[in-house]
Amino acid sequence: MILNRPTYLQQLSTALTRSPIVAILGPRQAGKTTLARLSVQDKQSTYFDLESPTDRQRLQNPELVLGSLKGIVVIDEIQNIPQIFNVLKVLVDRSENKTKFLILGSASPHILKNVSETLAGRVEFIELTGFDLSETGGDGWRDLWVRGGFPRSYLAASDADSVAWREGFIRTFLERDIPELGISIPSAAMRRFWTMLAHYHGQTWNASELGRSLGLSDKTVRSYLDILTGTYMVRQLQPWAANLGKRQVKSPKIYLRDSGILHRLLSLPDWQALIGHPKIGASWEGYVLEQAVQLLRLPEAYFWATHSGAEIDLLFFQRGKAFGIEIKFSETPTITRSMRSAIDELKLSHLWVIYPGEHSYPVTEQITVWPLQQLTTLRQQLD
């Protein structure tokens, strides 16, 4: 079974027509290579995999080799030879250049500073995530939640095979991928931190508390967090800071971006283990949050919370209007004082309560209960 990814293919096709360099960024094993190969299969193209010793040897003189190529040049895992960024800048700035470069990397521009600094104004970014509900279908929401969106995890023949793949992914990420970025942190220490984050999933960041639990300094745990964020393993959801005359939460909320990786770190192998675990509500919140950010194509997303207890799980803006999403793991979600407070204080145009049921229904003029499996249609409400 292979899932087509037409939305990403269209984004990539459009980007290649208008930008000399297109960067597909995202976590390892999210399908970047497959997407790149699909996008150039009927075009003149040349492919380099910088994890291959043979391809690295081919690029010993990158300016000479890349400058002689036509069509689309695909460079996979470009973070392994960062000096190529300067070569690409020189090549695309030549007036006679007609070659397009498609570069693939497993770290964000925050980690790969050369991407944003050296190639500023020349590169267009596409962030590729794991599968979402538009690709699996709304009926697949439970498997997608339990296994996560990494293609090999979601498409595994059994839950046991999915768990084994995720464990292998975690080990490889810690023992090979992190060191290849030039980051020297013992894999055991990073795994302890990652596992601790799994237990804090959905909570407000507290460096001192985490540091004490692990016997590390605030600065060290902050650097660990930034590494996992920059490699697409963790989302730091920032608070919306509005001048409302109230004491507001100012630290980010921390989520593991892939629910399958979260469940592996929490030793939750299947649906039965998940539904009996005390972190099920937090897991649901993070899963729905990621789906909403992907499906609604939100460039910016926030949460809002005050120290008096009022909060909203997801706050975003479209065409000058504010909207909110509250996430509830309940078949009969109730409307709370906190939701009404958020509508009043943030001037929300509408608030959706996302739940695991099957039917959407209005509660008030500004609040609608909405099933997760219909999240793909919610964007129509915003257009």
Domains of the chain listed by start with CATH number: 6-127 (3.40.50.300), 133-382 (no CATH)
DSSP 233: S
- Residue 170's H or E segment, with its range, is helix 159-172
pLDDT of 244 higher than 70: no
Give the HSE-up count for residue 92: Cα atoms under 13 Å, Cβ half-sphere: 23
Residue 197 has a pLDDT of 96
294-347, pLDDT tens digit by residue?
A: 999 998 999 998 877 778 999 999 988 999 999 999 999 998 998 998 999 899
In sequence order, what are the beta bridge partners of 239?
A: 303
Sheet holding 45-49, edge to edge: 45-49, 72-76, 100-105, 21-25, 123-127
The model's confidence at residue 241, banded by pLDDT at 50, 70 and 90, is: confident
pLDDT of 2 higher than 60: no
Residue 180 has a pLDDT of 79
350, 381 Cβ separation under 8 angstroms: yes
Q: Which of 70, 106, 66, 57 is nearest to 86 (CA)?
A: 66
Does 95 or 233 have the greater pLDDT score?
A: 233
Is pTM, for the whole model, over 0.85?
Answer: yes
Instruction: Show Cβ contacts of residue 133 under 8 Å, excluding neighbours closer than 6 positions.
Output: 140, 141, 144, 291, 295, 372, 373, 375, 376
The model's confidence at residue 175, banded by pLDDT at 50, 70 and 90, is: very high
